[in-house]
Amino acid sequence: MAPSTDQRRRHRIAAGLVVLVCAMVGLAYASVPLYRAFCAATGFNGTARRAERAIFTPIDRRLTVRFDTNVRGLPWDFQPEQATSTVQIGKAGLAYFKVKNRSDHAIRGRAAYNIAPEAAAAYFIKTQCFCFSDQTLAAGQEVSFPVIYYVDPKFAKDSSTSALTEIVLSYTFYPAPDSAPTGPSTRS
């Protein structure tokens, strides 16, 4: 006996609802990586852009970069080697950050960063940074991590950033998600 028109309609509706639920679950799982990619591409929410290689085109203007450090949930000391740096827009800047594990065992941490004011984040580009991966410090180990960055010359032409004279690069170290430590890390 062939299914009635009413039964076929119900099956199509049920199949459509299953597809809709699967699509919604898939989007829920993809939303965090998509949001991170959007922030990295646009500088939204104070997220600095990352470049694989730098294209330096210096202009005749300088900018002060202030460094801020914080630690949440780790027995680590963390501070910049210098509180500020004056850089030429479009030219590479270099900053070092000291991190010390005060505990008696190896600990893995991960640094998150932010740029303030938020409008400047789209133009602050890091080419090398310890924040791109987890860092494991042995008991009592002290490491100095470099950060290489530059400010895109478009910063000086954007009406929302052209009057700025200072940017704040802020880092916070958190415990890294649980995973087996691979030993002390001095990667950047």
Domain edges within the chain: 5-42, 47-175
Homologous superfamily of the 47-175 domain (CATH): Ctag/Cox11 (2.60.370.10)
Mean pLDDT: which of 1-5, 91-95, 128-132 is highest? 91-95
Q: Give the C-alpha distances (Å, rounded to integers) separating 8 from 11, 16, 20.
A: 5, 12, 18
What H or E segment, with its residue span, contains residue 37?
Answer: helix 5-42
The pLDDT confidence band at residue 21, using thresholds 50, 70 and 90, is confident
What whole-number percentage of the chain has pLDDT above 70?
A: 79
Per residue in 118-141, pLDDT tens?
999 999 998 888 987 899 999 999
pLDDT of residue 186: 42
More confident residue, 179 or 133: 133
Q: State how far the Cα of 151 lies from the Cα of 167, in Å rounded to an integer.
A: 10
- The alpha carbon of residue 182 and the mean position of all alpha carbons in its chain are separated, in whole angstroms, by 22
Q: Which amino acid is at 140?
A: G
The pLDDT confidence band at residue 18, using thresholds 50, 70 and 90, is confident
Question: Which tokens in the block code for residue 101?
Answer: 């594990």
Q: State how far the Cα of 65 lies from the Cα of 167, in Å rounded to an integer.
A: 5
Average pLDDT over residues 105-109: 95
Q: Report whether pLDDT(67) > 90.
A: yes
